[in-house]
């Protein structure tokens, strides 16, 4: 999504939600976020789970030195120990091999996700070991640039939504989805705004 798209969506969201209309002038529009689509991003997602950004970056640097062409065949062909030596845990090696196997077998297609609906793409991603709904929704938002995704399992999103709505506590994922139903068809931009608000909420 471009900045123009985000600003257009934010105008619609301010019309739809008085709390956004109140907060928007205070923190401004969120910046666009984009990641490349494809197999390499799924591999990188596995690497980055439950570790710091810096650690993930270091591991990916070692992986790319091993595999200049980071694709399913290369991951399938490389020895498991080599991936372990690069810094992946044995569980993540298992997930990476499973991802590569599914891609090569045709039971999963990273490139083919663009042809699927949001629900179909999320279902396809979450059938992979190591990928939950949050990972799938983040991929749809940032790699496929889908406009109406709300990753309700994200803690920062729910904390920000609770603050925006002046609730006593953060909502549950189910409550959060209900609270922002009227943000459709721009729930991805609403999510970007909540992350932006979480970091820049005025005192």
Q: Could you give all domains of the chain from N- to C-terminal order, each with its CATH number?
A: 3-34+149-200 (1.10.1670.40), 39-142 (1.10.340.30)
Q: Note the pLDDT of residue 85.
A: 97
- 203 pLDDT above the threshold of 50: no
Q: Give the CA distances from residue 132 to residues 49, 79, 136, 185, in Å, rounded to whole numbers and listed in that order.
A: 11, 26, 6, 23
Confidence of residue 202 (pLDDT cuts 50, 70, 90): low
Alpha-carbon gap, residue 116 to 118, rounded angstroms: 7
- 70 pLDDT above the threshold of 50: yes
Alpha-carbon gap, residue 68 to 65, rounded angstroms: 6
Give me 77's structure tokens. 């062909």
Q: Phi and psi at residue 43, in whole multiples of 5°? A: -60, -45
How many Cα atoms within 13 Å fall on the side-chain side of residue 110?
A: 19
Q: How many other β-carbons are positioned within 10 Å of the β-carbon of residue 1?
A: 20
Q: What is the pLDDT of residues 8-40, one digit of tens each?
A: 999 999 999 999 999 999 999 999 999 999 999
User: Of 200, 151, 153, nearest to 26 (Cα)?
Assistant: 200
Report DSSP state, residue 172. Answer: P
Q: What is the pLDDT of residues 106-122, one digit of tens each?
A: 999 999 999 999 999 99
Work out the mean pLDDT of the chain and round it to a whole number. Answer: 95
Report DSSP state, residue 76. Answer: H
Distance linking the first and last C-alpha atoms of the chain: 29
């Amino acid at each position: 999504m471009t900045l123009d798209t985000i600003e257009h969506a934010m105008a619609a969201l301010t019309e739809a939600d008085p709390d956004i209309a109140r907060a928007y002038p205070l923190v401004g529009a969120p910046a666009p976020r984009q990641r490349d689509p494809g197999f390499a991003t799924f591999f990188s997602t596995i690497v980055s789970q439950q570790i710091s950004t810096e650690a993930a970056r270091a591991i990916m640097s070692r992986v790319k030195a091993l595999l200049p062409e980071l694709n399913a065949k290369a991951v399938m062909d490389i020895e498991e120990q080599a991936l372990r030596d690069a810094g992946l845990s044995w569980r993540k090696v298992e997930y990476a091999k499973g991802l590569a196997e599914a891609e090569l077998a045709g039971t999963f297609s990273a490139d083919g996700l663009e042809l699927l609906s949001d629900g179909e793409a999320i279902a396809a991603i979450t059938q992979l070991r190591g990928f939950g709904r949050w990972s799938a929704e983040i991929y749809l938002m940032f790699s496929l640039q889908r406009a109406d995704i709300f990753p309700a399992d994200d803690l920062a999103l729910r904390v920000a939504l609770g603050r925006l709505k002046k609730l006593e506590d953060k909502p549950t994922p189910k409550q959060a989805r209900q609270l922002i139903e009227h943000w459709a068809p721009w729930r991805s931009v609403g999510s970007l705004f909540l992350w932006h608000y979480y970091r820049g909420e005025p005192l």
